[in-house]
Homo-oligomer: A and B are copies of this chain.
Amino acid sequence: MYKHSHLKEVIDRAIVNLSYNTEAEKLIDPVKYVLSIGGKRLRPVLALMACNIFNDKIDDAILPATGLEIFHNFTLVHDDIMDQALLRRNFPTVHNKWSANQAILSGDVMAFIANECFMQSPANYLLKVFRVYNKAAVEVCVGQQLDMDYERASIVSQQEYLRMIELKTAVLFAASAKTGAIIGGADDKDAELMYEYGRNLGLAFQLQDDLLDIYGDSKAFGKTLGGDIIANKKTFPYVYTMEKAEGKQIKEFQKIFSDRSTDPDSKVMAVINIYDSLNIKAITETFAEKYISFAFSFLDKVSIDQARKCELVNIANSLIGRDR
- B134 near A130 with CB under 8 A, answer no
The contact of A145 among B24, B78, B134, by CB within 8 Å, is B24
Of B100, B127, B145, the residue contacting A105 (CB under 8 A) is: B145
Determine if A105 and B21 form an interchain contact, defined as CB atoms under 8 angstroms apart: no
A126 partner, pick from B27, B78, B127, beta carbons under 8 A: B127
- A143 nearest CB across to chain B (Å): 8
Q: Mark A259-284, 1 if CB is under 8 A from B, else 0.
A: 00000000000000000000000000
* In the complex, chain A residues 131-149 whose Cβ is within 8 Å of any chain B Cβ: 131, 134, 137-139, 141-142, 144-146, 148-149
Contact B131 A23 (CB under 8 A): no
Say yes or no: A146-B116 contact (C-beta < 8 A), given A81-B101, A82-B101, A109-B138: no
- A105 near B27: Cβ-Cβ < 8 Å: no
- Does chain B have a CB within 8 A of A104? yes
CB of A181 within 8 Å of the partner chain: no
Q: Which residues of B contact A307 (CB under 8 A)?
A: none
| Number of A residues, CB within 8 Å of B | 39
Quote the shortest CB–CB distance from A138 to chain B (angstroms): 5
Is there an interface contact between B105 and A82, defined as CB atoms closer than 8 Å? Answer: yes
Q: Is there an interface contact between B24 and A142, defined as CB atoms closer than 8 Å?
A: yes
Q: Is the interface of A mostly helix, strand, loop or mixed?
A: helix
Asked if A174 lies at the interface with its beta carbon under 8 angstroms from chain B, I say: no
Report whether A141 and B108 are in contact in the complex, using a CB–CB cutoff of 8 Å.
yes
**Are A149's CB and B24's CB within 8 A?**
yes
When the two chains form the complex, which single residue of B107, B112, B146 contacts A138, counting CB atoms closer than 8 Å? B112
Within 8 A of B (CB), among A102-119: 102, 104-105, 107-109, 111-113, 115-116, 119
Whether a CB of chain B sits under 8 angstroms from the CB of A167 is yes
A26: Cβ under 8 A from any B Cβ: yes
Question: How far does the alpha carbon of A78 sit from the alpha carbon of B103 in the complex, in Å?
Answer: 11
User: Are A137 and B149 neighbours in the complex by a CB distance under 8 Å?
Assistant: no
- Residues 76-111 of A, flagged 1 when their CB comes within 8 A of B and 0 if not, give 001001100000000000000000111011011101
Nearest Cβ distance between residue A174 and chain B, in whole angstroms? 16
A78 touches B141 (CB 8 A): no
Whole-angstrom distance between the Cβ of A95 and the nearest chain B Cβ? 10
User: Shortest Cβ distance from A150 into chain B, in angstroms?
Assistant: 10
**B21 x A139 contact (CB < 8 A):** yes
Asked if A104 contacts B82 (CB within 8 A), the reply is yes
Output the least CB separation between A77 and chain B (Å): 10
Which B residues are CB-close (under 8 A) to A142? 21, 23-24, 27, 109
Known: A21-B139, A113-B138, A137-B112. A104 touches B78 (CB 8 A): yes
Q: Are A148 and B105 in contact (CB under 8 A)?
A: yes
| A interface, CB within 8 angstroms of B | 21, 23-24, 26-27, 78, 81-82, 100-102, 104-105, 107-109, 111-113, 115-116, 119, 123, 126-127, 130-131, 134, 137-139, 141-142, 144-146, 148-149, 167
9 contacts between A and B (CB under 8 A): A21-B142, A23-B167, A24-B142, A24-B145, A24-B149, A105-B145, A107-B108, A108-B111, A116-B138
